[in-house]
């Protein structure tokens, strides 16, 4: 069940705007999809990393939330996978045979790192969020946990912005 999203939008003048959403309870992601549509509209290209995953979540939401189908189908039809560049066009032995953003980022942009974050990957984010919203015995500060989840997801999309910019300087 999608519960979180981070979107960095590059405007035509090069400025960047950021949108984020983190569900507060386990529910169909109707408010998330509505908020995304309100923020992005049905314009432009949606850049992702590992688009098959993102498109899969959008397809799930199309099934659950048919009233958002037009928007989610637009996203899927206008999605570019930045990871694809690192599969064929930009291969580096320092990626250790992987195209994971967590392998590419330290090579091209070592100043951006997941190392200092408490939430290190998507599986950890999902587990932490699930415990926060479903476990009545959850003993951590929920505001702090929310911030940590938002920081992790924000770094994912910010990393794509910076990798995109880096690739523009290389070509």
Q: What is the mean pLDDT of residues 80-92?
A: 96
For residue 171, the model assigns a pLDDT of: 64
Tens-place pLDDT, residues 133-153: 999 999 999 999 999 999 999
Give CA angle at 40 (57, 90), nearest 5°: 65
Tens-place pLDDT, residues 22-37: 999 999 999 999 999 9
Q: At residue 6, does pLDDT exceed 90?
A: yes
CA distances from 98 to 62, 81, 105, 107 (A): 31, 15, 11, 12
Q: What is the mean pLDDT of residues 158-170?
A: 94
- Report d(CA 71, CA 4) in Å as an integer: 17
Which class for 149: exposed (0-12), middle (13-18), buried (19 or more C-beta within 10 A)? Answer: buried
Among candidate residues 88, 76, 94, 80, the one with its CA nearest the CA of residue 160 = 80
Radius of gyration of the chain (CA): 17
- Report d(CA 75, CA 47) in Å as an integer: 10
Q: Kindly report the average pLDDT of the chain as a whole number.
A: 96
pLDDT band for 170, please (50, 70, 90 cuts).
Answer: confident
Q: What is the mean pLDDT of residues 155-161?
A: 97
pLDDT band for 118, please (50, 70, 90 cuts).
Answer: very high
């Amino acid at each position: 069940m999608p519960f979180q999203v981070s979107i960095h939008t590059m405007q035509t003048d090069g400025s960047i705007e950021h949108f984020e959403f983190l569900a507060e309870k386990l529910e169909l992601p109707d408010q998330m999809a509505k908020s995304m549509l309100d923020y992005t509209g049905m314009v432009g290209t949606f850049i992702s990393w590992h688009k098959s995953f993102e498109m899969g979540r959008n397809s799930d939401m199309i099934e659950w939330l048919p009233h958002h189908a037009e928007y989610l189908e637009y996203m899927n039809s206008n999605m570019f996978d930045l990871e694809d560049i690192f599969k064929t066009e930009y291969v580096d032995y320092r990626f250790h045979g992987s195209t994971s953003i967590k392998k590419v980022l330290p090579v091209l942009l070592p100043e951006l790192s997941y190392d200092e974050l408490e939430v290190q990957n998507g599986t950890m984010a999902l587990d932490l969020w699930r415990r926060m919203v479903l476990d009545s015995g959850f003993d951590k500060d929920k505001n702090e946990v929310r911030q940590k989840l938002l920081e992790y997801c924000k770094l994912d999309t910010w990393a794509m912005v910076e990798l995109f910019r880096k690739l523009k300087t290389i070509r």
